[in-house]
Copies of this chain bind each other. A is one copy, B any other.
């Protein structure tokens, strides 16, 4: 360890200031016998005053702990930049870790192959103590591989039958049913869904819930899937609104898709909510600043990140191997939903006030 940059306080600096040997400082700071209580207190006070911190690499070597958790996102960078979900989730995870003086290490990759390579490297290099696994897929090769290499993992999403790893999830289905029933109660009978990536577990959960809720009401469910990019959301919305009998209400699987859909509707001359009601998932501030502000499925995403991280730290400490469920979303009605124009006109006489 030849290194001694200006300003990084070393054992030697403390020894010089205290007028004792480096060994005495080491004993004092590591809580070992060999120095008097008085000397120990004086050395600890000097270390604190100088701003000394134990070398984490040395500590990690002896403790076999990296004091860091990892998150790998397999997405193109320009999509990520637009997902408020991940910024809020990361903010939650980060707040939990920093309260324990742990770090969050993030890596972006292009695909699952690269993602698995990162996990193997991180684990082999002692870079992380555990990882959060996101964007859970229906047949997810990552689960088996993470279980095989033994890297502590919490799966974010599910529940998935046969998943051998601990998971944190919430009920995606309940609130989709609630949104469909709310739109139907307003008088909508042509309701469509613009969904996210088809292979994701939560997309399938929402799509299945949408289909069942529509069929329960005797309505025809129409779902168009996207890859979450605004381009694909715009194409899906244009296709729906260009059909001979366009929907009078659309549920979008993210806030970015919903704002994009609002733009497409306005550009095509559809009044919102007069001609088209819009409901979006996730309800970041973007949903709230557009005009009209969007009715949204509100989730506490930061709390989801906090819970997932706490659960991961329990897994790392071998305190648990189970699952944890977090609060489901709730529908927040705003200006983008209303009765369809035809119903609003036809029902005027029958309205009760």
Cα A54 to Cα B126 with chains together (Å)? 9
Residues A57 and B126 in contact in the complex (CB < 8 Å), given A101-B121, A293-B263? yes
A108 touches B98 (CB 8 A): yes
Judge whether A149 is part of the interface by a CB distance below 8 angstroms. Answer: yes
CA distance A289 to B235 in the complex (A): 12
What is the predominant secondary structure among interface residues of chain A facing chain B? helix
User: Are the CB atoms of A82 and B285 closer together than 8 Å?
Assistant: yes
User: A353 interface residue, CB < 8 Å from B?
Assistant: no
Within 8 A of B (CB), among A88-105: 88, 90-92, 94-95, 98, 101, 103-105
**Stretch with Cβ within 8 A of B (4 or more), from A2-10, A187-195, A202-210, A325-333:** A2-10
CB contacts (< 8 Å) of A84 on chain B: these are 81-82
CA distance A59 to B57 in the complex (A): 8
Instruction: Evaluate contact between B6 and A150: CB separation under 8 angstroms.
Output: yes
Does residue A234 face the partner (Cβ distance < 8 Å to B)? yes
A121 touches B7 (CB 8 A): no
Q: Mark A1-43, 1 if CB is under 8 A from B, else 0.
A: 1110111110000000000000000000000000000000000
Chain A 158-186 interface 0/1 with B at a Cβ cutoff of 8 Å (1 = within): 00000000000000000000000000000
Tell me the bound Cα distance from A149 to B7 in angstroms.
4
Docked CA distance A199–B283 (Å): 30
B contact residues around A86 at 8 Å (CB) = 87
A64 CB within 8 Å of chain B: yes
CB of A291 to closest CB in B, whole Å: 4
Interface string of A66-91 (1 = CB under 8 A from B): 10100000000110111110111011
Tally chain A residues at the interface, Cβ within 8 Å: 81
Segment of A132-140, A254-262, A273-281, A338-346 in the binding face: A254-262
Q: From known contacts A57-B126, A82-B285, A82-B286, infer whether A90 and B103 are also in contact, taking CB-CB under 8 Å.
A: no
CB distance B302 to A289 under 8 Å? no
Which chain B residue shows the least CB distance to A76?
Answer: B91
Given contacts A55-B125, A77-B95, A87-B82, contact A7 B289 (CB under 8 A): no
Option from B58, B81, B127, B301 in Cβ contact (under 8 Å) with A103: B127
Extra 8 A-B pairs, beta carbons < 8 Å, given A90-B106, A233-B289:
A1-B61, A55-B125, A57-B126, A77-B91, A81-B88, A87-B87, A104-B105, A262-B290
Would you list 25 pairs from A and B whose C-beta atoms are within 8 A, ordered by A residue? A1-B61, A1-B62, A3-B64, A7-B123, A53-B123, A53-B125, A54-B125, A55-B125, A56-B126, A57-B61, A68-B105, A78-B302, A81-B87, A81-B302, A82-B84, A82-B285, A91-B108, A98-B108, A103-B106, A104-B106, A105-B105, A106-B106, A259-B290, A286-B286, A290-B290
> Which residues from chain A sit less than 8 Å from chain B, CB to CB?
1-3, 5-9, 51-62, 64, 66, 68, 77-78, 80-84, 86-88, 90-92, 94-95, 98, 101, 103-109, 118, 120-121, 123-127, 148-151, 230, 233-234, 256, 259-260, 262-264, 266-267, 284-286, 288-293, 301-302
